[in-house]
């Protein structure tokens, strides 16, 4: 018999092969599908991960510096192909960094005169100013012209003179220029200088364009700064030409120069860190912050903060390098900076991120100067006689744990705060990427939605499962569940365009409705209770909710009909004005109340459906036992049914919360989407999901903003996934428990 059987199988080898093939086919297909689902998690993580990497440098080339002289300024053009170097001998040279010719000098220019002072503008302007021993200055700007002959990129350096090639006299009588600062915009320029005789001079230049020739002429006005310190170490000039700082050792003298005819000293203050001396001060990009380096390695950031109506330079945050600071180089477009210290360490910092991204010993010999490329992807470091080019990998310095989740003191803000403001028109904008306000908005929206949905959904579920007769239940349950299928875009549209104006105009009516509904129901119940027995017995058991439908409609109608009279009676005819003027509560038309109601409706069916299942599947012998022992049906419900079904009810609420947290369209349409941090029910919010929907399409691929939005999506994903898993797990356990009962 067995032999025969195997024979018949052997005859259908093809069938067996097909069977195997089907098995492997299905398995492979399913594994692929499940991997695809896993891919979501992996991919989100893959995009998010770079923002938490710190900076990394890698040496590319080392070149010999061929000419003499101490370096005053070092820099690179955008493509990191050509570096420039300015020396104290007045030499300007361009050095090739890439290809076979690397290290060779491409262009050299010798300035006339004996150099006594030097300064540079903020990096994005890229201008340098030389001061000479005859009290004159010369402003130069390294230019790079890019052309594409034969589809090959060719960059040619040159030197231009923004204020003309001839020297500009600052002061004829004061002798040599000792210290110097210069800033320039399209219409204005300012030069500050300390002369050999100790006087500090400020010269303001105003541009005037000749209508005919379009030639620009600059008219200078100069004044001597009053009360200047005897020994000045450094001058700093703000590009907006409002303030001028004279540093004398550790003291900073702050001048108000906004009016050239009334230049005056506003205040003097110490800016060193305790027990240390200031070695160098630089302006951060955007020029509202000072970065102060000390000889013990402390670095501090200062900017002006408005307090009690006056502006005051305030210490914001501190960083720590390994040893005394020699040089500070701010980045071109971000709020980061580089430092060199006297033990040969390179430090990379970011102010908003409040972090040291890198500290690496580059050399045992003392380093001289550091420069960062405009795109912040290369660093040039000079040690005596040698120039080293490093590749810098530092894509997202502004995103750190503290920048995302802690209070950050942003430039121009009176105090540390949680702010989400991702984009702005200005280049020098400090992105404010705190996830706290939008996470708060998410929680707030979910909270108000749950506040509205949980009581209705749970009470409804309990009634449907426990009291309602089977035929009525088979109609009611699918009807409520139908709501789950309603596209949320429709709920959002109704909330924003239909409900929000109604709520705004009938505020007293809404409040009366919320109070009136339970009272109306109780009243109806009491009247019913006192009706003659004959009527009561004629109605089927479990018809309460059908009887109550007209009551609900009536209460609703009454609440809105009475809204305007009540408004007159209590609030002088305009409840909204009353709220704003008398109670000082701001009122947005699209507020949390509207979102709560609309999103509540979206969540009710989720909670209702799961909770109803849980209550309904409580084994009948438990309730029958309780009733047989003399408990009323309400007592049985509270002490037996709900208690037994409580894990299921819990999982229903969790599922509902998961849905409320991730809901996008309702929040997008029913709130103003302002990232506020305020629990007020009359104000809107911005949630994680809505924020993604609003900002994602405009976000630049690969930017910090893009990745932070992915992080927001990842947070949503993990959050809802965990919630749902807990809920699902509880539900499965409950099912097993029921089946064993």
Partner 1 sequence: MRNWFKSGAPWIWMTGGAVSISLVAVVGLLVLIAWRGLSFFWPSTVYEFDLEELNGQRHTVIGELYDSEKVSAERVLSSGVKLPEQHDEVITRYLLKTGNREYVDLDFRWIMETQIKTKTAPQDIAVFERSTNGNFYGYVEGLLEAGEAVNATDKRAELIKRMERAIALNQQADDLQHGPIGSINYELERLRLKERGLALNGELDEAAKADFEAQRQALHDDYLVLEKELFAFRDQASRDAVIVRDMDGRQVTLPMQKVLDVHFPNDMGFFAKFGHWVHQLAKFVSSDPREANTEGGVFPAIFGTVFMVMLMAVIVTPLGVVAAIYLHEYAKKGPITKMIRIAVINLAGVPSIVYGVFGLGFFVYMVGGSLDQIFYPEALPSPTFGSPGVIWSALTLAILTLPVVIVSTEEGLSRIPSSVRQGSLALGATKAETLWRIIVPMASPAIMTGLILAVARAAGEVAPLMLVGVVKMAPTLPLDGNFPYFHLERKFMHLGFHIYDVGFQSPNVEAARPLVYATAFLLVTVIIGLNMSAISIRNRLREKFRSLDQ
- CA distance linking residue 78 with residue 378, whole number of Å: 10
Q: Is 7 in the site for partner 1 (CB under 8 A)?
A: no
In the complex, least distance from residue 149 CB atom to partner 1, rounded to whole angstroms: 19
Rule CB under 8 A: choose which of 668, 676, 685, 730 binds partner 1. 668
CA nearest to 51, candidates 718, 717, 709: 709
Output the CA–CA distances (angstroms, integers) from residue 254 to 23, 189, 238, 260, in the order listed. 81, 19, 11, 15
Q: Residue 702 Cβ, how far from partner 1 at the closest point, in Å?
A: 9
Which CB sits closer to partner 1, 124 or 674?
Answer: 674
Site for partner 1 in 52-91 (CB under 8 A): none
Whether the CA torsion 175, 176, 179, 185 is positive or negative: it is: positive
674 touches partner 1 by CB under 8 A? no
Q: How far is the CB of 352 from partner 1 (least distance, A)?
A: 24
The DSSP element (H or E) to which 209 belongs, if any, is strand 200-209
Q: Is there binding between residue 39 and partner 1 (CB under 8 A)? A: yes
Q: Does 447 bind partner 1 (CB under 8 A)?
A: no
Among 457, 510, 611, 641, binds partner 1 (CB under 8 A): 457
Say how far apart CA 418 and CA 437 lie, in whole Å.
6
Q: Nearest distance from residue 569's CB to partner 1, in Å?
A: 10
Closer Cβ to partner 1, 292 or 649, answer by number = 649
**CA gap 540, 467 in Å, rounded:** 11
Nearer to partner 1, 490 or 628 (CB): 490
Q: CA–CA separation, 530 vs 693, rounded Å? A: 55
Quote the CA–CA distance of 243 and 239 in Å, as a whole number.
9
- Give whichever of 34 and 628 is closer to partner 1, judged by the CB atom: 34
- Least Å from the CB of residue 658 to partner 1: 5
CB of 80 to partner 1, least distance (A): 23
Closest CB 587 distance from partner 1, rounded Å: 13
Q: Tell me which stretch binds partner 1 (CB under 8 A): 12-20, 54-62, 65-73, 171-179.
A: 12-20
By CB under 8 A, the residues from 180 to 209 that bind partner 1 are none
Q: Is 548 in the site for partner 1 (CB under 8 A)?
A: yes
Return the sign of the alpha-carbon dihedral for residues 613, 618, 619, 624: negative
Nearer to partner 1, 47 or 180 (CB): 47
Q: Supply the DSSP string of 637-704, one letter for each residue.
A: IIIIIHHHHHHHHHHHHHHHHHHHHH--HHHHHHS---------TTS----HHHHHHHHGGGSPTTSH
Q: Site residues for partner 1, window 700-719 (CB under 8 A)?
A: 701, 709-710, 713, 716-717
Kindly provide the b/e burial profile for residues 347-383, where b requires at least 16 CB atoms within 10 angstroms of the residue's own CB. Answer: bbbbbbbbbbbbbeebbeeebbbbbbbbebbbbbbbb
642 touching partner 1, by CB under 8 A = no
Task: Give the residue, chosen from 483, 562, 585, 681, that forms a contact with partner 1 under the rule CB under 8 A.
Answer: 483
Residue 723, CA distances (Å) to 401, 484, 647, 711 in order: 23, 19, 14, 18
448 lies in the binding site for partner 1 (CB under 8 A): no
- Residue 101 or 635: the one with the smaller Cβ distance to partner 1 is 635
Give the one residue of 349, 609, 663, 704 binding partner 1; rule: CB under 8 A: 663
By C-beta, is 362 or 457 nearer to partner 1? 457
Q: Which is nearer to partner 1, 174 or 662 (by Cβ)?
A: 662
CA gap 374, 79 in Å, rounded: 9
Shortest gap between Cβ of 572 and partner 1 (angstroms)?
A: 7
257 makes contact with partner 1 (CB under 8 A): no
CB 648 within 8 A of CB 613: yes
The minimum distance between CB 363 and partner 1, in angstroms, equals 41
Beta bridge partners of 392: 57
Among 114, 249, 732, 733, binds partner 1 (CB under 8 A): 732
Helix (H, G, I), strand (E, B) or coil at 9: helix
Segment holding 320, helix H or strand E = strand 310-320
Closest CA to 257 of 236, 275, 278: 236
- Closer residue to partner 1, CB minimum distance, 257 or 641: 641
Is residue 367 a contact partner of residue 339, using CB atoms and an 8 Å limit?
A: no
CA distance 444 to 687: 9
Q: How far is the CB of 534 from partner 1 (least distance, A)?
A: 19
Residues 578-637 binding partner 1 (CB under 8 A) are 601, 604, 608, 632-635, 637
CB contact set of 532 (below 8 Å; sequence gap of 6+): none
3-state helix, strand, coil in the chain (%, to 5): 40, 30, 30
490 vs 583 by CB, closer to partner 1: 490
Q: How far is the CB of 619 from partner 1 (least distance, A)?
A: 21
Q: Is 276 helix (H, G, I), strand (E, B) or coil?
A: coil
Q: Report in angstroms how near the CB of residue 490 gets to partner 1 at its nearest.
A: 5
Tally of residues, the chain: 741
Q: How far is the CB of 320 from partner 1 (least distance, A)?
A: 37
Q: State which of residues 144, 447, 467, 738 lies at the interface with partner 1 (CB under 8 A).
A: 467
In whole angstroms, what is the distance from residue 117 CA to residue 192 CA?
Answer: 12
Q: With CB under 8 A as the contact rule, which of the stretches 35-43, 209-217, 266-274, 420-428 interacts with partner 1?
A: 35-43
Instruction: Give the residue from 719, 721, 703 showing the smallest Cα distance to 51.
Output: 703
Residue of the chain from 146, 269, 451, 482 that contacts partner 1 (CB under 8 A): 482
- Which residues, in sequence order, are CB contacts of 486 under 8 Å at separation 6+? 602
Report, in Å, the least distance between residue 731 CB and partner 1: 10
State the nearest-atom distance from the C-beta of 153 to partner 1, in Å.
17
* Strand-pair partners of 356: 349
**With respect to partner 1, which residue has the nearer C-beta, 218 or 528?**
528
**Under the criterion CB under 8 A, does residue 15 sit at the interface with partner 1?**
yes
- Selection from 160, 82, 143 nearest residue 373 by Cα: 82
Instruction: Please tell me the count of residues contacting partner 1 according to CB under 8 A.
Output: 117
Residue with tokens 């749902």: 724
Per CB under 8 A, which region of 14-22, 99-107, 136-144, 406-414 contacts partner 1? 14-22
- Write the binding mask 500 to 539 for partner 1: x where contact by CB under 8 A, - elsewhere: -----x-----------xx--xx-xxx-xx----------
- Of 150-158, 172-180, 399-407, 459-467: span binding partner 1 (CB under 8 A): 459-467
């Amino acid at each position: 018999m067995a032999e025969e059987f195997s024979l018949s199988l052997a005859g259908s080898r093809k069938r067996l092969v097909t069977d195997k093939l089907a098995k492997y086919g299905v398995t492979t297909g399913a594994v692929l599908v499940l991997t695809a689902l896993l891919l979501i998690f992996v991919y989100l993580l893959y995009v998010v991960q770079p923002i938490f990497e710190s900076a990394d440098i890698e040496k590319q080339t080392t070149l010999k510096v061929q000419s003499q002289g101490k370096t005053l300024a070092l820099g690179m053009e955008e493509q990191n192909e050509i570096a420039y170097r300015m020396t104290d001998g007045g030499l300007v040279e361009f050095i090739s960094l890439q290809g076979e010719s690397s290290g060779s000098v491409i262009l050299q220019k010798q300035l006339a005169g004996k150099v006594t002072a030097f300064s540079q503008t903020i990096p994005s302007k890229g201008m340098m100013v030389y001061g000479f021993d005859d009290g004159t200055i010369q402003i130069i700007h390294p230019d790079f012209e890019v052309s594409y002959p034969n589809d090959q990129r060719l960059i040619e350096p040159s030197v231009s003179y923004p204020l003309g090639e001839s020297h500009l006299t600052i002061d004829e009588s004061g002798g040599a220029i000792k210290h110097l600062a210069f800033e320039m915009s399209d219409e204005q320029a300012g030069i500050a200088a300390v002369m050999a005789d100790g006087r500090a001079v400020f010269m303001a230049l105003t541009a005037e364009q000749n209508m005919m020739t379009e030639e620009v002429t600059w008219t200078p006005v100069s004044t001597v700064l009053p009360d200047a310190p005897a020994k000045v170490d450094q001058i700093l000039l703000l590009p907006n030409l409002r303030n001028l700082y004279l540093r004398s050792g550790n003291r900073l003298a702050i001048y108000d120069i906004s009016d050239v005819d009334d230049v005056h000293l506003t205040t003097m203050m110490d800016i060193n860190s305790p027990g240390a001396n200031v070695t160098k001060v630089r302006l951060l990009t955007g020029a509202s912050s000072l970065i102060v380096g000390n000889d013990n390695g402390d670095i501090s950031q200062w900017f002006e903060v408005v307090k009690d109506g006056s502006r005051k330079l305030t210490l914001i945050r501190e960083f720590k390098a390994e040893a005394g600071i020699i040089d500070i180089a701010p980045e071109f477009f971000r709020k980061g900076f580089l430092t060199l210290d006297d033990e040969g360490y390179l430090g990379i910092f970011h102010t908003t991120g409040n972090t040291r991204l890198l500290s690496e010993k580059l050399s045992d010999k003392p380093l001289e100067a550091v420069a960062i490329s405009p795109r912040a992807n290369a660093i040039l470091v000079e040690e005596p006689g040698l120039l080293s080019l490093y590749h810098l990998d530092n894509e997202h310095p502004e995103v750190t744990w503290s920048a995302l989740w802690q209070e950050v003191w942003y430039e121009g803000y009176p105090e540390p705060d949680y702010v989400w403001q991702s984009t702005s028109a200005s280049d020098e904008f400090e992105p404010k990427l705190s996830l706290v306000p939008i996470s708060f908005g998410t929680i707030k929206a979910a909270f108000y939605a749950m506040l509205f949905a949980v009581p209705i959904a749970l009470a409804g579920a309990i009634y449907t499962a426990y009291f309602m007769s089977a035929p009525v239940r088979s109609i009611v349950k699918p009807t409520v569940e139908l709501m789950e299928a309603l596209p949320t875009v429709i709920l959002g549209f109704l909330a924003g365009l239909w409900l929000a104006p109604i709520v705004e105009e009938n505020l007293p009516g809404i409040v009366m409705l919320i109070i009136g509904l339970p009272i109306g129901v109780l009243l109806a119940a009491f009247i019913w209770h006192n009706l003659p027995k004959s009527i009561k017995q004629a109605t089927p058991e479990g018809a309460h909710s059908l009887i109550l439908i007209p009551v609900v409609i009536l209460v609703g109608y009454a609440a809105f009909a009475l809204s305007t009279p009540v408004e007159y009676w209590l609030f002088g005819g305009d409840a909204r004005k009353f709220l704003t003027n008398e109670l000082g509560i701001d009122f947005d038309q699209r507020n949390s109340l509207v979102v709560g109601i609309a999103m509540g409706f979206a969540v009710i069916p989720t909670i209702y459906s799961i909770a109803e299942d849980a209550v309904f599947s409580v084994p009948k012998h438990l309730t029958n036992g309780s009733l047989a022992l003399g408990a009323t049906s309400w007592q049985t419900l509270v002490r037996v049914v709900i208690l037994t079904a409580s894990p299921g009810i819990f999982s229903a609420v969790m599922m509902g919360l998961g849905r409320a947290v991730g809901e996008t369209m309702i929040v997008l349409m029913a709130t103003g989407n302002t990232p506020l941090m305020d629990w007020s029910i009359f104000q809107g919010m911005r949630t994680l999901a809505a924020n993604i929907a609003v900002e994602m399409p405009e976000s630049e691929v690969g930017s910090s903003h893009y990745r932070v939005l992915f992080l927001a999506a990842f947070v949503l994903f993990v959050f809802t996934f965990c919630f749902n898993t807990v809920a699902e797990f509880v539900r499965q356990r409950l099912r097993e428990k029921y089946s064993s009962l």
